[in-house]
Amino acid sequence: MSRAKSPAQRTGNPNGAASPEAAPVVYEGRAPRVPGHLKAPGREVWRAVWQAGSGAYSPDTDRNIILRYAELHDRRADLLALIDAEGLSVVGSTGQPAIHPAMRYVETTERELRAIETAIGFSPEARMRLGIVAAEARRVAASPADF
C-alpha cells in the first residue's frame, strides 16, 4: 500500500484551504454615483446591485458590466411600456393577429440580463459556482489568519 507524500515533496495544486494571499479582494469604499443617463428602473437596479454586492464588486473593474445591466433594465422597461400601450397582439402584414414585434427585443434583452446575472452572481447557483459571497469575502479580509 502506498503512503501519502510529505508536504515538502508534494507538487501540483493544493488540496487544502486557500492561503491568505489568495483571499478575495474586498472593495471597502462607497458605491459609484448613479450615472445620470439612467432612467428610474436602471437607477433602482444600479443601487440594488451595488448594495447587494456590498464589497464584492469594484468600481474599477465591475462598473461597466453593472452599468450595462442597469441600461438593459431601462431598455426592458421601455419595451414593456410600449407593448402595454399598444397591446400584446397587433395586426400582421396579411391581417392576421400577431405578437407585438417589440416582444422579440424583450426576449433578447432578457437573455442578455440572464447572462449578466450569471456573470455577477445574482442567483444562488451562480454565487456558489463563482464563490462570490460578500459576507464571506468580508470575513476573510477581516481575519486572514484563520486560514
pLDDT in tens, 75-92: 999 999 999 999 999 999
Which residues form the domain of 71? Answer: 27-146
Asked whether residue 21 is assigned to any structural domain, the reply reads no
What mean pLDDT comes out for the span 62-66?
A: 94
- Per-residue pLDDT of 22-32, as tens digits, reads 445 556 667 89
Asked whether residue 88 is assigned to any structural domain, the reply reads yes
Query: Which of 1-10, 70-79, 118-127 is most confident?
Result: 70-79
Counts of helices then strands in the chain (DSSP H, E): 5, 2
Asked whether residue 74 is assigned to any structural domain, the reply reads yes
Number of domains making up the chain: 1
Asked whether residue 12 is assigned to any structural domain, the reply reads no
- C-alpha triplet 58, 54, 52: angle, nearest 5°: 110
Between the alpha carbon of residue 60 and those of residues 32, 74, 115, the distances in Å are: 10, 23, 21
Asked whether residue 20 is assigned to any structural domain, the reply reads no
Asked whether residue 18 is assigned to any structural domain, the reply reads no
Asked whether residue 142 is assigned to any structural domain, the reply reads yes
Instruction: Return the percentage of the chain with pLDDT > 90, whole number.
Output: 51
Q: Which of 25-29, 36-40, 134-138 has the lowest mean pLDDT?
A: 134-138
Asked whether residue 15 is assigned to any structural domain, the reply reads no
What mean pLDDT comes out for the span 61-84?
A: 97
